Amino acid sequence: MRFRLNVVEKVPAEGSPPSMVAIAPPPGDPKDLPAWLASFTNWEKQLPLGQERREWGPLRCRKLLDRLHLDTSQQRVIQVAGSKGKGSTVLWLESLLSIRGQTTAATTSPHLISLEERIRLNGEQVSFPRLLAGLHKIYPALIAGQSAGDPLPTFFDLWTALFTEIAVSEGVENILLEVGLGGPLDSTTAIPHDLGILTTIDLEHTALLGDTCEKIAAEKSKIARSGKPFMISSGETAGTAEQIARTLQSSPSISCEDSRIPDSVPSHQKLNGATALQALERLPEFEPFTSEEVSRAWKEMKLPARLEVLQGFPPLLLDGAHTPASLRAFVQGFRSFRNQQISPDSSSEHPRGGAILLGMLADKNPQATLAELSQLDPFPEICTLGIPVPRGMSAQEIATELQPIADQHGRRLQVAESPEEGLRWLRKMAATGEPIAATGSMYLAGMVRKAWLAPEPS
C-alpha cells in the first residue's frame, strides 16, 4: 500500500472545496506502518532542514495533545537534550528508576530495526498492537484538527502524541523524553518537564543550530524551564551554564565524576551515568543511590549499538557513533576489541589493524568525525557504505572525505554498492583474521544488526 502526503482522495461533499482530502487511517499491517508514518513530514530525514521547522517548533504537537486532552501533570517528566549520550542517559535513568521500583515510559530515536523500539514501557519495547491501538485513539483528533484548519502534524509530532497517549494510558510514574533535533524546536518540548538534562554537545545540524559547539549548546539549552531543576553534563561548552541560569533564575547543576559508578563501565558511559544519577538526586523525593544500586542498574541496562559485540563467528563490534566525540569513544572501544580478538601468537611483523564498515549522514560534521579514525594505529581497512535516507552520504562521498587520511597510512579504501556487499566484505576480512566493526551512524548500525543477526539461508 502506498500513501501520498498521508491523505486518501475523497469525493468532496456538496459545497466543500474540490481539494478536500481525508487523512488515511492507520494501517493494520506492521509492514505498512513505516510508509504511513513517513508520509507525514519527517525532519529526521530532511536535508536541508526547512525554515518551517523553526517557525512552528512544537506548536503542532501541542495542538494535537490538547485535542487529545492528554495531561502529564500527574507524572514526573524528564527531558534529555544534547548531541551525544542522550539515548544512553535515558537508559541510565530508566534503569536507575527501575531499581527504585518506579515505572517508566521512554521514547528514544532513531530505531535500529523496528519502530516499536522507539517506545519502551518499563524497559521493554511496545508491541505493534499497542502502537496501533494508540494511533486509532489519535486518529479522530487528526481529523478534527484538519477540519479546524490545524497544520498537519509532522512525523515527530504524531509520534510524540502517540508516546504520550501510551504513557498516560498505562499510568507510568515517569515519562522519559529524548529530544530529537535541537531543543525548543523539538516536538517533545510540547510536554512540560519536571527535570531537564543537557548531555555532551558536538557539531551537528549546524545549518539550523549554529556552526560552533557554543551556539549549539545555547540552542539546545533553551529547553530549560524556570523553577525546574536542570543538570548539565560535565565538560559542557563554556557559557552554557550562565545562559541556563538566566532562564532558571538560579544556577543549573553540573555533573562530576562519581565513584559509585563501577570501574568496568566505559569512560563515556561513566559520564552519562553520572549525569543521570546526579540529575535524579536533584529531585527532593530521591534519597542518594548506593554504589550497589548503581552497579545493579548498569548490569541490567541493555545498550544496543553502543560498542555492542554481536557474538558468533566472527564476532562484530557495532556502534552508532556519529559525532567526533562519539567516534573518539568508538576508537577506544575498537582498540580494546581488536586486542582481544588478535591471537597473542600473531606475527608482530604484520600487525592487524582490523576492518571497519563505515556509513554516515551528511549533517553530522563528517570531516571532523572521520578525522578521529586517524588515531588508530595500525590503521584499519575501511569500506564505505551509503545510507539510504535523504540525509545520508553516498559511499563515494564518504570515501572522498576519508581518502586523505587513508593516504597518510598507505591504505586503499573500498566502496560497497549495497549493504549486502558491505557485509560480504566484512565476512571476507574476518576470514583473513581481521577483527571487524561497523560504525558511523545509527541507521547503519540498524541495517547491519538486522542482517548480521538474521538466520543464515538454508
Residue 39 lies in a domain: no
Same domain, 284 and 420: no
Same domain, 286 and 367: no
Residue 3 lies in a domain: no
Domains in the chain, number: 2
Residue 206, pLDDT > 90, answer: no
Query: Do 387 and 441 contact (CB within 8 A), yes or no?
Result: yes
Same domain, 97 and 238: yes
Residue 109 lies in a domain: yes
Q: How far apart are CA 281 and CA 399, in angstroms?
A: 46
Task: Look up the pTM and report it.
Answer: 0.86
Listing DSSP states for 264-324 in one string gives: TS-HHHHHHHHHHHHHHTTSTT-PPPPHHHHHHHHHH---TTSSEEE-SSS-EEE----SH
Same domain, 139 and 199: yes
Q: With bands split at pLDDT 50, 70 and 90, how would you rate the model's confidence at 8?
A: very low
Angle at the Cα of 15 from the Cα atoms of 10 and 18, rounded to 5 degrees? 40
Selection from 77, 73, 102, 79 nearest residue 231 by Cα:
79
Residue 34 lies in a domain: no
Same domain, 159 and 279: yes
Residue 128 lies in a domain: yes
Residue 350 confidence (pLDDT): 44
In tens, the pLDDT along 162-175 reads 999 999 999 999 99
Percent of the chain with pLDDT over 90: 60
Single residue among 266, 300, 334 that ends a domain in this structure: 300
Q: How far apart are CA 155 and CA 37, in angstroms?
A: 6
Residue 7 confidence (pLDDT): 45
Percent of the chain with pLDDT over 70: 86
User: What are the cell numbers at 282?
Assistant: 536533584
Q: Tell me the CATH number at 338.
A: 3.90.190.20
Same domain, 240 and 91: yes
User: What are the cell numbers at 147?
Assistant: 477540519
Q: How far apart are CA 442 and CA 424, in angstroms?
A: 20
Query: Do 270 and 261 contact (CB within 8 A), yes or no?
Result: yes
In tens, the pLDDT along 308-354 reads 999 888 899 999 998 888 899 999 999 999 998 876 555 444 457 99
Residue 53, pLDDT > 70, answer: no
Least trusted range by pLDDT, from 47-61, 396-410, 427-441: 47-61
Residue 56 confidence (pLDDT): 63
In tens, the pLDDT along 258-305 reads 999 999 998 889 999 999 999 999 999 999 999 999 999 999 998 999
Query: How does the average pLDDT of the chain come out, rounded?
Result: 86
Residue 115 lies in a domain: yes
Across residues 212-220, what is the average pLDDT?
A: 78
Look up residue 242 and give its DSSP letter: H
Residue 349 confidence (pLDDT): 43
Same domain, 291 and 382: no
Run of H or E residues at 58: none
Same domain, 202 and 254: yes
Same domain, 411 and 291: no
Instruction: Please give the residue range of the domain that contains residue 173.
Output: 57-300
